[in-house]
Structure 1
Amino acid sequence: MEVLLALWVVFQILTGFNLVLPLLLYILRFFQQKDFTETVIPKAYDYAIIVTAYEQTTLLPSVVDSILKLNYKNYLVYVVADKCDISNLHFNDERVVLLRPEETLASNTKSHFYAINRFERPHDYLTIIDSDNLVDPEYLNELNQFFARGFIAVQGVRAAKNLNTSYACLDEAGDMYYRYIDRKLLFDNGSSASLAGSGMAFSTPFYRECLELLHIEGAGFDKVLQMEILNRGQRIAFAEKAIVYDEKTSKSGQLVNQRARWINTWFKYAGKGLKLAGSGLKDFNKNQFLCGLVFSRPPLFIVVGLSGFCMMVDLFVFPYQLFYWLFAVLAFFFIFFIALRHFKAPKIIYQSLVRIPVFIFYQILSLLKAKKANQISTATQHYYESKIDDVETPGN
């Protein structure tokens, strides 16, 4: 009986640690040496901007138009239209290269390397953009600030381009929370920002080294790439002002299918995160240790559900344990609202928070579909179309 009680206490501590860890990272960042202490004048590096589309081309003109408005000259755009009808796509700018694979690729990395193998010149860096993204005019200039300092992998910000439904608002609220912890706090603590699938950039040779020989099926190529980068002892920088605008989930069905793929990816790679954390602890490698902890962390709705269950049991079994849960919950809310304030969340996001229980319910449905997530189409259905001029920049 005592063993079971001890295991129960350990289980609660480990579950609650997922809520407390962000607060610890927040405190530790004040004791870290700043990354940038000197002014660096970057070069006009040559970029390949890879835009990937699968089945849908509706939003491609908008994303390409936003790219062509960049305050930068040294780049080419490679549009990979996988399994797409391109008869109505016409790009008259010589900087745009339209590619239509002969056979269906149905893979992010295959689309990336389809473009890489057809580069018209040896680009210094490549950056990956989704077909539903819009690109801030200063995007490449901001990336340059980090490449000029020696980084070979950089993650930018994927801010919301649509807040048209409560689902989209809650999606952005959650993204701000993860963006603050998984990118800003990790990077500020001398570790690596987590990759987000798009709005990220790499040295072209380094990207090829990491992924060219790997066969990746289903979602989660960014997780594989992150592990490859960390295993090579490199850091991923967080470029807070390198912004792409990303379409947030605006319908419940879209939310369920997307989260099912994400949950499936977590189950698939969480073990590798624990292994990475163990390696980092053994080798005194802070970068690997902190990233491994965050990498293996369960999705937030699972942590919240388990925490609620623990608190209900403790009401009758271990009332003193509720003090620990009070601290963990307060720590979570503190960081959550710090994140919303830091990224200047508009009022509509705060108003949407009352619908969090509904949002969690749909994520539970996603959990039930996670096992079959790879059978769900990899193409996210898009319901919102916009141009860069229609999107408010953060803080406006």
Structure 2
Amino acid sequence: MTVLLTALTCICASLLLFSSIVTILSLIANPKKPTSATEERDMALIITAYKSVDLVPQLLSSIYRSNYSNYHVYVVADDCQDCRDIEENPKLTVLKPATALSSKLKSIKYAVTNYVRNHDTSIVLDSDNLVHRDFLAEMNDYRECFKAVQGRRVAKNLDTFVASLDEMGEIYHNYVDKYAPYKLGSSSNLSGSGMAFSTSLLESFLFSEEVEQLMEGVIYGEDKLFANFIVEKGHQIAYHYDALVYDEKLEKKDQIKRQRIRWFKSYFINLQTAASLAGVGLLKGRVGSVFFGVVSAFPPLFLLVLGTGLLTLIAVFFNPWLSLILVGAAASFVFNFLFVLWLTNAPKPVWNALVKIPLFMFEQLKAMLVLHRHKGDFLVTQHSKSVNVEEVN
């Protein structure tokens, strides 16, 4: 029992300390930033909408205000009955699949196969997003050096404690899982929206044998699939901190479980691939691949915290010194979490929501306990927060 407990303590303490070490190292890292692009690349902006296009007009309005002109927008209105609120525009194509796709990845592929011209760059957005007026120009700069770039998603709504807690997690993961790895020479994880790719790279993924096989069923974690594909091909995924995409955060407590079920499914499906990336990278001496694989395999934070608490209680009865190690590692993790919020200038509503973290964790635990009941469910999260870009810029 003591040997097992010691091993579990080492694993748990290492995971808790890992994020702190990554944050510290990122503070002294100084990655080379691309210089300003000399010309505008031709960009395709893919907006995936499922069952509703109610928020698409606001997103389109923010795009049309961009300090950038060489683009064309594709709205994939999947299973959407009414698109009359979307005004016609020379830079816009609205696509309505004949049959429901019920998949973000299928919607992206549908848009690519219906491009009106050959685009150099493809950008993926969700229908509830808004973009900063400099977003496209910022992405254009980074595309000079990188085939894949993740922009920074920030909240467009912080009017409930649930939204603030959702944004709190996004802020932390934006830094620890995306920005810090990129600064340290590895790859950022992808967020599902606010992503820019070389169109040729996107097409090679969409029409790969692996993805073609997945198209027959429900697809979870398409962003993780694509990120793994990019890293396996030897490319680095950059993270552009100044390329801002405004994302709708959860408004109500009952939305948490549905979203987290989808995220947890994606995590567990991706776990084997992430471990494989780290293992292959270790064998081939690819430090960036190892780092990316470890970050991708990192457990959900609430599971790590609950596991640490349970293990600490057990250790008190068998080996108190191990419990002290866990308490010290947990303290380091908590300090790092708060430090990241401070470092990234987290807004006041996020700080005020810290006391509600246990409630958020409880809702995630409920989601974990019912994972097995949602096999074959697309698990879409409904968004309805109508906000104009002037209100968040």
Q: Is the pair's TM-score, using the shorter chain for normalization, greater than 0.5?
A: yes
C-alpha deviation, 1:326, in angstroms: 2.9
**What is the rounded CA distance, in whole Å, between the counterparts of 1:101 and 1:39 in structure 2?**
40
- Contact 1:257-1:376 at 8 Å conserved across structures: no
Q: Are residue 199 (structure 1) and residue 198 (structure 2) matched?
A: no
- Contact 2:103-2:378 at 8 Å conserved across structures: no
Match of 2:60 among 57, 60, 64: 64
- Contact 1:48-1:75 at 8 Å conserved across structures: yes
**What is the rounded CA distance, in whole Å, between the counterparts of 1:31 and 1:376 in structure 2?**
44
Match of 1:333 in 2: 334
Match of 1:119 in 2: 115
What residue identity is the alignment partner of 1:294?
V
Q: Are residue 13 (structure 1) and residue 7 (structure 2) matched?
A: no
Q: Are residue 319 (structure 1) and residue 315 (structure 2) matched?
A: no
Percent sequence identity over matched residues? Answer: 34
What residue identity is the alignment partner of 1:26?
T
C-alpha deviation, 1:277, in angstroms: 0.8
Q: Comparing 292-301 with 368-377, which one deviates more in the overlay?
A: 368-377
Q: Are residue 237 (structure 1) and residue 232 (structure 2) matched?
A: no
C-alpha deviation, 1:341, in angstroms: 1.8
Cα deviation code 1:203-231 (max 9, x no counterpart): 00011112223133322001110110011
Q: Are residue 22 (structure 1) and residue 19 (structure 2) matched?
A: yes
- Contact 1:80-1:99 at 8 Å conserved across structures: yes
Q: Comparing 371-380 with 276-285, which one deviates more in the overlay?
A: 371-380
- Contact 1:106-1:378 at 8 Å conserved across structures: no
Match of 2:171 among 176, 181, 187: 176
Number of aligned residues: 387
**What is the rounded CA distance, in whole Å, between the counterparts of 1:343 and 1:42 in structure 2?**
30
**What is the rounded CA distance, in whole Å, between the counterparts of 2:377 and 2:205 in structure 1?**
27
- Structure 2, gaps ≥5 residues long: none
**What is the rounded CA distance, in whole Å, between the counterparts of 2:357 and 2:158 in structure 1?**
15
In structure 2, do the counterparts of structure 1 residues 87 and 189 end up closer, same or farther at CA, with 3 Å as the change threshold? closer
Match of 2:360 in 1: 359
**What is the rounded CA distance, in whole Å, between the counterparts of 1:356 and 1:6 in structure 2?**
33
Cα deviation code 1:308-337 (max 9, x no counterpart): 001111222211113322331222122212
What residue identity is the alignment partner of 2:161?
S
Aligned 1:276-295 pairs, distance under 5 A: 276-295=277-296
Match of 1:210 in 2: 205
- Give the match's secondary structure for 1:132: coil
What residue identity is the alignment partner of 1:51?
I
Cα deviation code 1:5-48 (max 9, x no counterpart): 21221112112222211111123335545323x74444211100
In structure 2, do the counterparts of structure 1 residues 190 and 87 end up closer, same or farther at CA, with 3 Å as the change threshold? closer
What residue identity is the alignment partner of 1:113?
K
Match of 2:157 in 1: 162
- Give the match's secondary structure for 2:100: coil
Aligned 1:44-123 pairs, distance under 5 A: 44-123=40-119
Aligned 1:244-263 pairs, distance under 5 A: 244-263=245-264
**What is the rounded CA distance, in whole Å, between the counterparts of 2:112 and 2:73 in structure 1?**
11
**What is the rounded CA distance, in whole Å, between the counterparts of 1:364 and 1:295 in structure 2?**
20
In structure 2, do the counterparts of structure 1 residues 389 and 170 end up closer, same or farther at CA, with 3 Å as the change threshold? same
- Structure 1, gaps ≥5 residues long: none
- Contact 2:250-2:256 at 8 Å conserved across structures: yes
Match of 2:146 in 1: 151
- Contact 1:264-1:371 at 8 Å conserved across structures: no
- Contact 2:152-2:245 at 8 Å conserved across structures: yes
Cα deviation code 1:93-112 (max 9, x no counterpart): 21011110111111111111
- Contact 2:149-2:195 at 8 Å conserved across structures: yes
Q: Comparing 324-333 with 192-201, which one deviates more in the overlay?
A: 324-333
**What is the rounded CA distance, in whole Å, between the counterparts of 1:8 and 1:82 in structure 2?**
50
**What is the rounded CA distance, in whole Å, between the counterparts of 1:363 and 1:378 in structure 2?**
15
- Give the match's secondary structure for 1:264: helix
In structure 2, do the counterparts of structure 1 residues 169 and 32 end up closer, same or farther at CA, with 3 Å as the change threshold? closer
Q: Comparing 90-99 with 240-249, which one deviates more in the overlay?
A: 90-99
- Give the match's secondary structure for 1:289: helix
Match of 1:137 in 2: 133
TM-score normalized by structure 2?
0.95
TM-score normalized by structure 1?
0.94
Cα deviation code 1:73-111 (max 9, x no counterpart): 000000000000134233222101111011111111111
What residue identity is the alignment partner of 1:341?
W
C-alpha deviation, 1:141, in angstroms: 0.9
**What is the rounded CA distance, in whole Å, between the counterparts of 1:17 and 1:211 in structure 2?**
36
What residue identity is the alignment partner of 2:114?
R
Q: Which runs of structure 1 show a deviation greater than 6 angstroms over 4 or more consecutive aligned residues?
A: none
- Give the match's secondary structure for 2:289: helix
What residue identity is the alignment partner of 1:173?
M
